[in-house]
Amino acid sequence: MFAYLNLIGDEIHNFIDGMMIAATYLASVELGFATTLMVIFHEIPQEIGDFGVLIYGGFSKRKALAYNFVSALTAVIGAIVTYFLAETIHFAPLLVPFAAGGFIYIVATDLIPELHKKNTAGASATQLLALLLGAGLIAYLKMIVGG
Amino acid sequence: MSELVAILASVITVTAIALVGIIFVGLKESVLKRVLMALIGFASGSLLGGAFLSLLPEAMAEIGERHSTMSLWAS
């Protein structure tokens, strides 16, 4: 059942998102806030897509919403585990580059192939504009908070 | 402890994003595809920007590698 496979994949993904948020907050509050924004931005299209997959897989809207929410809760577990583990093992500094790698991986393997599915001039222009807007927003945030 | 509060507030917000799927249910397939494309482009930019402008420079600063070209951005 691909709907259940999608849920399991989503759980792992969300768990790691939670770890990244906790680890970056432990490095600095500004970095944690920026990471949270980045996670939210890529979660929005991701969750819309996941919801569609569950509906397509035969779930009712209510069931899809409930299952998706429960799978997203693994982010909370990931964050709590990371926070308390970081008190005993000092692995938070290691998790920051890990988060950077994770984000580059998501863009390179998930998002950009998705953008390549549509390559008319208009679509490419929209994609490029949206991409620059996303990068620009993070650069701007970095400038004003200095994270 | 205040860190833990900030972390929890952030992950709970992220978790709530799981519920946004329902908003887009009524949209036409073609409109949804166009909205998704822009959102994915935006997400790509913010993740790349975040990785290269925030996370990697922070990691570099942590390690103490200040001679890299990245240190231009490191605070």
pLDDT tens-digit series, residues A15-31:
999 999 998 998 889 88
Interface test with B, best of A51, A83, A144 (most B CBs within 10 A): A51
Chain A CB contacts of B20 below 8 Å: 44, 47-48
Amino acid A106: pLDDT? 87
Number of domains in chain A: 1
pTM higher than the cut 0.90: no
The answer to whether B45 and A136 are in contact (CB under 8 A) is: yes
Q: Is the ipTM of this complex over 0.90?
A: no
Question: How deeply is A107 buried, as exposed, middle or buried, from its count of CB atoms within 10 A (0-12, 13-18, 19+)?
Answer: buried
Residue whose token pair is 């994915």: B40
Which tokens go with A51? 């919801």
Chain B CB contacts of A73 below 8 Å: 15
Q: At A118, is the secondary structure helix, strand, or coil?
A: coil
Between CA A80 and CA B43 the distance in angstroms is 25
Cβ–Cβ below 8 Å for A126 and B58: no
Q: Using the 8-state DSSP alphabet, how is residue B67 labeled?
A: S
Amino acid A5: pLDDT? 82
Residue among B3, B33, B50 minimizing CB distance to A103:
B50
Confidence tier at A135 by pLDDT (50, 70, 90) = very high
**Cα angle A6, A68, A101; round to 5:** 60
Chain B CB contacts of A93 below 8 Å: 59, 62-63
The answer to whether B11 and A19 are in contact (CB under 8 A) is: no
Residue B75: is its pLDDT beyond 50?
no
Select the more confidently predicted residue: A9 or A146. Answer: A9
Q: Which domain holds residue A66?
A: 2-145
The alpha carbon of A81 is separated from its chain's Cα centroid by a whole number of angstroms, namely 18
Between CA A61 and CA A15 the distance in angstroms is 24
Q: For A27-111, where are the E strands, in sequence order?
A: none
Between CA A93 and CA A98 the distance in angstroms is 9
Residue whose token pair is 């799978």: A71
The alpha carbon of A42 is separated from its chain's Cα centroid by a whole number of angstroms, namely 5
Q: Using the 8-state DSSP alphabet, how is residue B27 labeled?
A: S
> Can you tell me the mean pLDDT for A115-141?
91
Residue among B4, B39, B53 minimizing CB distance to A138:
B53
Q: For chain B, where are the E strands, in sequence order?
A: none
